[in-house]
Copies of this chain bind each other. A is one copy, B any other.
Amino acid sequence: LKEKPPQHHICESFHKASPTPSKHVRNGPRKVSDPAARRLSLYLRALEELAAEERETVSSLELAGRCGINAPQLRKDLSLFGSFGKRGFGYPVAELVPRLREILGVSREWRVVLVGAGRIGAALFEHGEFRERGFLIVGVIDRDPEKIGRRWGDVTIQPAEELEGTITREGADLAILAVPASEAQAVAGRVVKAGVRAILNFAPIRLDVPPNVAVNDVNIGLELEALAFVLAGGTEAP
């Protein structure tokens, strides 16, 4: 039995390659850690709220406070991508929003194929937030003959055989896997072969994918267990 060295899940694929940090060549992003990247999403959301409130500037202290982060952390995170703030004033909200959108890759539209039209799939489909944020569901796949052919919004549920066809025809960039654990690995293999390079996986198993594919797991059971662990006092001394 061999050790499994290449980690394809997102935490690992975030900081790949280069052991030399190649520091501070301002203007132009460098290696960004996974936690930092996730915090950027929080900042963007908070900034969008501020923009809606017509706020012109915001200090690192206030923005960080809204995100539950501390101020130096936020400043450091943003400084990875440039100097957006004005000393003495804070960050210009209206300018920073599009810059962050650009950095996070949400200034363009992403085409998503949803595999699995069960409860979770349906909940995700209805979740309007995606569309707002530029994630467009261009195909829904299910193997249940009852569901095939039904229309969800603009798309018609396709049978499993149409998975690859839908991905290539619609040019899907991203797949959401809302299928049973027993099928998830097989589906992952197929979507990858069809050209998808990022997967949001709701099945509670580790997907084995090539190193150039990013996987993000949403494991609700694990989240509950983490809470049980805290409630049970697992973090404390006996």
Interface residues in chain A, defined as those with a beta carbon under 8 Å from any beta carbon in chain B = 1-5, 7, 9-10, 13-16, 18, 22, 28-32, 34, 37-38, 40-42, 44-45, 59, 61-62, 64-68, 70-71, 103-106, 108, 110, 119-120, 122-124, 126-127, 129-130, 133-135, 173-174, 197-200, 204, 206, 214, 216, 218-238
Contact = CB atoms under 8 A, between A and B. Distances in A.
B130 A221 contact: yes
Given A105-B225, A119-B127, A120-B127, 13 more contacts: A3-B71, A31-B236, A104-B228, A104-B229, A105-B233, A108-B232, A119-B126, A120-B123, A174-B227, A198-B227, A198-B230, A200-B224, A218-B220
> Oligomeric state, in number of copies?
2
A68 to B, nearest CB: 4
Contacts of A103: 229, 234
A227 B200 contact: yes
Counting from the closest, the 6 A-B pairs by CB-CB distance are A105-B232, A119-B123, A105-B228, A28-B238, A198-B227, A214-B230
**Which of A15, A206, A220 has its CB near the most chain B CB atoms (within 10 A)?**
A220
Contacts of A223: 200, 216, 218
A123 B122 CA distance: 8
